[in-house]
């Protein structure tokens, strides 16, 4: 069926010609209003922590209630504080399988715990051996960049908040300090993240001039022209009503109702008089790198060791990622908030004189004290990931939609809790049972009914990543892991 043209000529050709030339406008369906031509964005975050504490067969992340309107526990409190529960779904009861060297299952990890769940988590491809901690397949932000990047200046951005390893020689962590890998002709190549806020700022904005506000004014003028076109269609269509037969008149009335609804929706759109894209303030010099602290040195944590103001670093890097998406400098990104087996000092973050990793090993005590501390560590990561969700939700596109409407975001955690096949312990933080993934955004019908809690026993975390890629229009299964979480799409 031919498209309806917004012109007097097509409206005034006569009853028969008019009826044949009157299909539903694409703009009436809401496609154009929702920004059909606006680019999609993709983001993945990583937290180097498990989500519970030994001796407890539960965590303070997993909601009790399933579906929409889920309850918020301690580890997800930032979701409530930021007012983004309706934008975030929580997928729980996931699992990465394990095996001994030579018998590691598809999408699985080596039986040894430290840093071996990361590879299948970020790539969907099994670990190779106990001595190899690198991923063995391309990671999702690289895959997304290949499809979404277009002519952007930065096909993908990969940042890391934790500035140093904070043990031993205090280096960059090697494979424990990276989550981005690309496939170069069958060879999987690691891509080191930017951990310096200053370097991230300079590489993002050097030579970049934000669009002139006149561009936004032009968009507003175009919106007004669209409104005038609708007024024209209504005026001329109504003049034809007396010339139509009963059936055509009923058909016309339906279209007039749609046009009036379109007119109402266009009136609700307030295009900004200035673009949201802007040059952010220079963050200045990076905070100094903190010294390493050895295991059990509580005094080292109390005196500020193993800390390089990661709070400020996370804030700046999140702002940069959000503005990169806003200015269309990049459409794909990753943020490694903390390294696998994270030794970042938790004391300046939330008053626990230990590191994130040791919190799961009685670093500040056992029982509820230990569980609360681990949960606060999880919540710190969720806070910064959630802040990006909030910023994208609150940034308006020129068509009135938000950036988040065109984005899919996931948050991955290194571990869950449960059985540790390496030690044989039934309840351990060294476990890839009971894992959880957070997913936000509205691209492709994602979270169409709002944020919800979905239990998927035995599902692989990479299936949530598959779902996020699907949401931004990429039909790709991560490595050896197939399937998606269909409930995420309503």
Q: How confident is the model at residue 287 (pLDDT cuts 50, 70, 90)?
A: very high
Q: Which two tokens stand for residue 440?
A: 């936000």
Same domain for 333 and 396?
yes
Residue 290: inside a domain: no
Closest CA to 445 of 416, 406, 474: 406
Is the per-residue pLDDT at 418 higher than 70? yes
Q: What is the CATH number of the domain that holds 327?
A: 3.40.720
DSSP conformation class of 294: -
Return d(Cα 75, Cα 84) in angstroms, integer: 14
The pTM for the full model equals: 0.82
Give the pLDDT score at 398. 80
Residue 281: inside a domain: no
Question: Across residues 87-99, what is the average pLDDT?
Answer: 98
Is the per-residue pLDDT at 18 higher than 60? no
Give the pLDDT score at 1. 27
> What percentage of the chain exceeds 70 in pLDDT?
80
Same domain for 48 and 127?
yes
Convert the pLDDT of each residue in 51-84 to its tens digit.
Answer: 999 999 999 999 999 999 999 999 999 999 999 9
Give the pLDDT score at 244. 73
Query: CA angle, 265 as apex, 260 and 267 as ends, to 5°?
Result: 95
Containing 109, the helix (H) or strand (E) segment is: strand 109-110
Closest CA to 474 of 44, 84, 35: 44
Return d(Cα 213, Cα 277) in angstroms, integer: 9
Same domain for 152 and 199?
yes
Residue 317: inside a domain: yes
Same domain for 256 and 331?
no
- Provide the angle, in degrees to the nearest 10, between the axes of the packed helices 246-268 and 213-240: 160
Same domain for 406 and 442?
yes
Structural domain boundaries, residue 418: 42-211+298-489
Same domain for 479 and 377?
yes
Q: How far is CA 50 from CA 338, 357, 415, in A?
A: 12, 8, 4
Give the pLDDT score at 276. 85
CB 372 within 8 A of CB 60: yes
Return d(Cα 147, Cα 296) in angstroms, integer: 47
Last residue of a domain, one of 226, 248, 268: 268
Is the per-residue pLDDT at 262 higher than 70? no
Return d(Cα 51, Cα 212) in angstroms, integer: 46
CB 313 within 8 A of CB 163: yes
Same domain for 123 and 18?
no
Q: Which two tokens stand for residue 351?
A: 């008053």
Give the pLDDT score at 2. 27
Label residue 391 exposed, middle or buried (CB < 10 Å: 0-12, 13-18, 19+).
Answer: buried
Residue 37: inside a domain: no
CB 292 within 8 A of CB 167: yes
DSSP conformation class of 306: S
Label residue 221 exposed, middle or buried (CB < 10 Å: 0-12, 13-18, 19+).
Answer: exposed
Same domain for 27 and 67?
no
Convert the pLDDT of each residue in 370-408 to its tens digit.
Answer: 999 999 999 999 999 999 999 999 999 888 899 999 999
Q: How far is CA 362 from CA 64, 103, 236, 429, in A?
A: 26, 33, 76, 11
Convert the pLDDT of each residue in 35-44 to its tens digit.
Answer: 447 999 999 9
DSSP conformation class of 194: B
**Strand 407-413 relative to strand 435-441, pairing:** antiparallel
Which DSSP string do the residues of 327-351 spell out, in sequence order? TTS-SEEEEE-S-SS---B-HHHHS
Same domain for 98 and 143?
yes
Q: Which residue has the higher pLDDT, 210 or 5?
A: 210
Closest CA to 317 of 337, 332, 289: 337
Same domain for 68 and 159?
yes
Same domain for 66 and 130?
yes
Q: Which residue has the higher pLDDT, 12 or 369?
A: 369
Return d(Cα 167, Cα 293) in angstroms, integer: 6
Containing 91, the helix (H) or strand (E) segment is: strand 88-94
The structural domain count of the chain equals: 2
Q: Compute the mean pLDDT over every residue in the chain, rounded to the nearest whole number.
A: 86
Question: Across residues 254-258, what is the average pLDDT?
Answer: 65
Same domain for 403 and 436?
yes
């Amino acid at each position: 069926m031919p498209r309806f043209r917004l012109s007097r000529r097509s409206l005034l050709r006569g009853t028969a010609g008019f009826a044949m030339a009157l299909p539903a406008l694409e703009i009436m369906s809401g496609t154009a209003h929702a920004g059909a031509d606006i680019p999609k964005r993709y983001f993945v975050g990583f937290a180097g922590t498990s989500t519970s504490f030994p001796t407890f067969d539960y965590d303070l992340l997993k909601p009790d209630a399933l579906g929409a309107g889920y309850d918020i526990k301690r580890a997800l409190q930032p979701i409530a504080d930021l007012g983004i529960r309706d934008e975030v779904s929580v997928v729980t009861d996931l699992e990465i399988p394990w095996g001994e060297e030579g018998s590691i299952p598809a999408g699985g990890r080596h039986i040894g715990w430290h840093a071996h769940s990361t590879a299948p988590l970020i790539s969907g491809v099994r670990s190779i051996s106990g001595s190899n901690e690198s991923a063995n397949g391309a990671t999702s932000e690289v895959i997304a960049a290949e499809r979404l990047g277009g002519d952007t200046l930065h096909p993908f951005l990969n940042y890391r908040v934790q500035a140093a390893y904070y043990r031993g020689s205090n280096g960059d962590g090697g494979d424990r300090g990276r989550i981005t890998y690309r496939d170069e002709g069958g060879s999987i190549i690691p891509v080191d993240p930017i951990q310096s806020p200053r370097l991230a700022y300079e590489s993002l904005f050097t030579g970049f001039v934000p669009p002139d506000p006149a561009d936004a004014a032009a968009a507003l003028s175009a919106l007004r022209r669209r409104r005038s076109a609708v007024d024209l269609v209504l005026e001329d269509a109504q003049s034809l009503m007396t010339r139509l037969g009963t059936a055509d008149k009923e058909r016309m009335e339906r279209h007039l109702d749609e046009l009036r609804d379109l007119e109402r929706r266009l009136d609700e759109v307030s295009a900004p008089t200035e673009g949201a894209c802007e040059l952010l303030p220079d963050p200045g010099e990076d905070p100094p790198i903190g010294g390493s602290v050895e295991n059990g040195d509580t005094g080292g944590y109390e005196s500020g060791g193993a800390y390089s103001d990661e709070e400020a670093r996370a804030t700046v890097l999140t702002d940069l990622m959000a503005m990169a998406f806003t200015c269309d400098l990049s459409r794909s990104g990753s943020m490694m908030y903390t390294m696998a087996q994270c030794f970042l000092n938790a004391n300046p973050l939330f008053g626990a004189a230990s590191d994130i990793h040791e919190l799961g090993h009685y670093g500040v005590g056992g029982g509820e004290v230990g569980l609360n501390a681990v949960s606060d560590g999880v919540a710190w990561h969720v806070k910064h990931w959630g802040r990006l969700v909030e910023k994208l939700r609150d940034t308006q596109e020129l068509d009135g939609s938000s950036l988040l409407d065109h984005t899919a975001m996931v948050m991955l955690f290194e571990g869950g809790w449960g059985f540790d096949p390496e030690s044989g312990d039934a309840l351990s933080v060294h476990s890839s049972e009971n894992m959880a993934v957070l997913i936000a955004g509205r691209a492709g019908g994602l979270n169409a009914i709002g944020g919800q809690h979905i239990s998927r026993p035995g599902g692989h975390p990479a299936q949530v990543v598959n779902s996020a890629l699907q949401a931004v229009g990429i039909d790709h299964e991560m490595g050896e892991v197939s399937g998606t979480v269909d409930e995420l799409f309503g």
